[in-house]
Amino acid sequence: MYGNDFVDPNDPGAGPLNAADGGAVEAAAAHVDRRSEIDLSDFDAIIAADQRVEPRDVMPEEYRQTLIRQIAQHAHSEIIGMQPEGNWITRAPSLRRKAILIAKVQDEAGHGLYLYSAAETLGIDRAELLDRLHNGKQKYSSIFNYPTLTWADIGAIGWLVDGAAIMNQVPLCRCSYGPYARAMIRTCKEESFHQRQGFELLWDLVRGTEAQKAMAQDAVNRWWWPALAMFGPRDTGEHATGGHTAQSMAWGIKRFSNDDLRQRFVDMTVPQAERIGITIPDPKLSWNAERNHYDFGEIDWDEFWRVLKGDGACNAQRMARRVASHEQGAWVRDAAAAYAAKQAARQQAAAGEGSAA
């Protein structure tokens, strides 16, 4: 699962990220200048023809850096995303639900690894990516800084958070960068199970006792707005100038605006909520026959930026757990590497004896 790609423009640690961030004009000029230095005719032709860029193709440095940042953030989100749900594995209410949840959390790890694998094709080392996560230079989706307070949260995450992730990830399957697109295809094939198991879980609860139904509603109340925020800041109409949507679209990395994807998500999800008797916690939500879309209320953007900057309920906890897991796993990696080195040495020695004889 995954939130859309965005950075806090006021975070100095994030730095200028691509031609559309901050000094858009200067960066755009630099981009044009560079064309005389490197031959980009191939790259532009590939993008213009909606073809895939592959790892060893010549590509603009900004394109490479944008992809490294986006794919890494995406990978980090998958890995951190294991925590809020892993929190409930030992307390799943049945063996069936426990098996499902374990499989789902394992999938999130898998998605993270597909993505790290894709990022590495851009020439960055795995250890470096993890360092950047651990020292806060790269972010993960803010959605995972919210706590999973009840069992129903597992349902709400699957239905809403994974639902939003699918909405984001499906267009990424057509991303101009081949390895990223392929990782997304693999991921999307697995996400459908994630969303359906969550919806089914909630459906079970709403058909249960009053307390269970209330628990389901409470979970949706808490996850609805963070799920909408996963699509990132507004980027259409008067908001179109900020952020880096335009550049990412020109490069074929991003295919739809954050706002368009968010609207699609609302349109898709509201009927599902109605079907199982869940109320979407938005008094402004209503069908607009003129637009043929649902109108909905404004996201609390102050909260969005606050959580992104580290002031969410679980930011510190998630990172501490991530770093501890990495450090506590070091002996396993060391032992495996030592074993491999020993085996290789023995083989070499045996080969030496063989040739001497």
Partner 1 sequence: MSDTTLPLFEVFVRAKRGLSHVHVGSIHAPDATMAVRNARDLYTRRQEGVSIWVVAASDIVASSPDEKDSFFDPAGDKIYRHPTFYTVPEGLEYL
Number of C-alpha atoms within 13 angstroms, CB side, residue 77? 25
The interaxial angle of helices 210-229 and 258-275, nearest 10 deg, is 170
Residue 196 near residue 207 (C-beta atoms within 8 A): no
Q: How far is CA 46 from the centre of its chain?
A: 26
Residues 6+ apart with CB under 8 A from 260: 236
In whole angstroms, give the CA distance from residue 12 to residue 321: 25
Strand partners, 293: 288
Q: Residue 69 carries which side chain, given as an amino acid letter?
A: R
Q: How many CB atoms lie within 10 A of CB 40?
A: 18
Cβ proximity of 217 and 156 under 8 Å: no
- Structural contact between residues 22 and 16, judged by C-beta atoms closer than 8 angstroms: yes
Phi, psi of 288 (to 5 degrees): -110, 100
Residues 6 or more apart in contact with residue 93 via CB below 8 angstroms: 151
Rg of the chain taking only CA atoms, in angstroms: 23
Residue numbers at the binding site for partner 1 (CB under 8 A)? 54, 56-58, 103, 106-107, 110, 113-114, 117-118, 120-121, 125-127, 131, 179, 182-183, 186, 190, 327, 330-331, 333-334, 336-337, 339-340, 343-344
Burial of 254 (0-12, 13-18, 19+ CB in 10 A): buried
CA dist., res. 241 & res. 165, Å (int):
24
Q: How many CB atoms lie within 10 A of CB 123?
A: 10
Nearer of residues 21 and 107 to partner 1, judged by Cβ: 107
Tell me whether residue 163 or residue 179 sits nearer to partner 1 (CB atom): 179
In angstroms, give the least distance from the CB of 176 to partner 1: 15
Compute the distance between CA of residue 192 and CA of residue 158 in angstroms, rounded to an integer.
9
